[in-house]
Structure 1
Amino acid sequence: MVGVTTHSTPPQLPAWRHVYSGKVRDLYVPENGSEGYLLVVASNRVSAFDHVLDPEIPGKGAVLTALSRWWFERIDLPNHLADGAADAPEVPAEVADRAMLTRRLEMHPVECVVRGALTGSGFLEYQRTGAVCGIELPAGLEDGDLLDTPIYTPAYKAPLGEHDENITFERSVELVGSETAEALRDASLRIFTRARDLAAERGVILADTKFEFGTDPRTGELVLADEVLTSDSSRYWDAAAYGDESLPRAQRLASFDKQIVRDWLSANWDKQGEPPVLPDEIVARTYERYAELYDRLTAAAA
């Protein structure tokens, strides 16, 4: 992967063959030649500024996997999980807490981003153009402002080693066709609205997220894939802190993710050469932030 360093070797798993590793996840296919399944393993790696860092964050992969599973149970849409399938391969015990056995899908080249707040790259684009992915927004909005209605701002999933590209809905139609593009948009907005409302009940603001979808080649149905509504794919804010205008902006918009890592690196590294090793305190605080979100969302679950 261009511009990315990796420091850990994916585990060798009995009856599974490793086929790919991203910054965080490792993918495996069954050694018996079955083409219908994929094992997605969330590692404990943490990345920032296009580098995979040392050391890993122990427990992070298990928290992200558990949160994805929790959300899948609450989303009224077919997903890629293959748990319980009669002919499904066994998941190795050594990665069971951070692995998802999934169906293999024909993935769509569109990353489905939904924004319920104006921040991050969306705010930067808004400052330049007054719009996000071709969607005009009211003048005078500030970083972190919540939007009255969530907006769908897709991105093109770039080839390996390149950065994803924000695109208009019209461009997504050119990529996948009007029927599929509309289905991706409608499903993404529906899932986001349900998740935003549920998070709000637990004192958490879902600011934005991304979804990925594929088509099941056996049935032709649209299927929700990848991780879903995790700290790595979504931006969550503490509602109480967000509403406290006496706090500095950075504290009001502190997300439940690896922002602690990014902040430490920004203060201790000039982004030249290899990044420094993360201190134990930063590793521990980062895990605690991931775990806090999981606990807050799931503790009050009905």
Structure 2
Amino acid sequence: MKHLHSGKVRDLYQTEEGLLLMVASDRISAFDHVLTPDIPDKGTILTRMSLWWFEQLADVVPNHVVAPGPDGRSVLCRPLRMVPVECVARGHLTGSGLIDYRRDGEVSGIRLEPGLVDGSRLPEPVFTPSTKAPVGEHDEPISFERVVAEVGADVAAELRRITLEVYRRGAQIALERGIILADTKIELGWDADGVLTLGDEVLTPDSSRFWPLDQWEPGRSQPSFDKQYVRDWLTSPASGWDRASGEAPPPLPEEVVERTRARYVEAYEKLTGRPFTG
């Protein structure tokens, strides 16, 4: 197979038939850096979870899956012409959305009510798109009007509709399992027939924030089943890393690696109801 691209987490190959083989590695990224060491089993967890979610969302949006790969961490899929916009939905306020809100009361051009805090539930989920930055650069929030200028009014409206429907379905299923889906990012592209199709991964701990419902407490950083644990360690005094320095983050300690893996496994098992056997 022909190697096409290696991203922060996934490697992409092309088969002789023109299909794509997407392989999820155990790499983990944060703050636009690929970190060391890897998180054991992470790629397998992401792939299995995405495949499960693609099934749950089949009536919401078509997906690119042709068949699971033989190794548990790869997927054979149809090629898509990807939309040049990161499609993000938020049901709770946190992360970069909270930073923007604290600065000007808006997220991606959407004015939010005053008095919200970290973890606040929004009255309705909102579509908060961003740019697609190259590896090493940071995605920047953009307004819906910018999306319209980029892809046209009809496509922009469809991107917003699909993204919010994926979020609502995911949030409903997660809540039934005692988990809050705070926000999520999805990748959409056009297939050979021009149909908007869900690609890459979906509703994983890499692309979403998952919080335990019974520990949700607005006004503080929430316990999570995702890589927020890694972000929190990197920005803590324990890491000794200055994010503004431009230097690469330090290696993750063994304890952080083990606890991160445990969070990914727990997210998979709670959401799918299946044991993770490696």
TM-score by length of 1: 0.83
Alignment of 1:124-273 (within 5 A): 124-217=99-192, 219-243=193-217, 249-250=220-221, 253-266=222-235, 267-271=238-242, 273=247
Give the AA of the match of 2:211. Answer: W
- Structural mapping, 1:48-127, within 5 Å: 48-75=30-57, 76=59, 77-83=61-67, 91=69, 93=70, 96-127=71-102
**Is 1:278 matched with 2:263?**
no
Distance across 2 between alignment mates of 1:194 and 1:286: 26
Alignment-mate amino acid for residue 120 of structure 1? G
Distance across 2 between alignment mates of 1:49 and 1:126 = 19
The aligned counterpart of 1:40 is 22
Q: Higher Cα Rg: structure 1 or 2?
A: 1
TM superposition shift of 1:162: 2.8
Quote the Cα distance in structure 2 between the aligned partners of 1:268 and 1:180.
Answer: 43
Give 3-state SS (helix, strand or coil) of 2:20's partner: strand
- Aligned-partner residue type, residue 228 of structure 2: Q
Letter matched to residue 213 of structure 2: A
Partner amino acid for 1:172? V
Cα deviation per residue 1:7-41 (whole Å; 9 max; x = unaligned)? xxxxxxxxx222211111111112x3x33x11111
State the Cα RMSD in Å. 2.0
What amino acid maps onto 1:24 in structure 2?
V
Change (3 A) 1:274 1:159: closer
Determine the C-alpha separation between the residues in 2 that align with 1:192 and 1:169: 17
Deviation at 1:51, TM superposition (A): 2.7
Task: Structure 1: give runs of 5+ residues left out of the alignment.
Answer: 1-15, 85-90
Task: Compute the displacement of 1:160 (Å).
Answer: 4.7
For the residue of structure 2 that corresponds to 1:72, the secondary structure is helix
Q: Which residue of 2 aligns with 1:25?
A: 10
Report deviation, 1:274: 4.5
Residue 122 and residue 260 in structure 1: after superposition, are their counterparts in 2 closer, same or farther (change >3 A)? Answer: closer
Change (3 A) 1:57 1:231: same
Measure, in 2, the Cα distance between the counterparts of 1:50 and 1:149. Answer: 29
Letter in 1 for 2:35: L
Of residues 291-300 and 198-207 in structure 1, the stretch that sits farther from structure 2 once superposed is 291-300
Give the counterpart letter for 2:25 in structure 1: S
SS of 2:23's equivalent in the other structure is strand
Task: Report % sequence identity.
Answer: 53
Structure 2: stretches of 5+ with no match in the other structure: none
Provide the rounded CA distance (Å) in 2 between the counterparts of 1:262 and 1:268: 10
Deviates further, 131-140 or 44-53:
44-53
- For residues 240 and 165 of structure 1, the distance between their equivalents in structure 2, rounded to whole angstroms, comes to 32
State the alpha-carbon separation in 2 of the partners of residues 48 and 132 from structure 1: 21
> What do the CA deviations read for 1:181-212 (whole angstroms, capped 9, x no partner)?
11111111111111111111100000000111
* 1:161 shift after superposition: 4.1
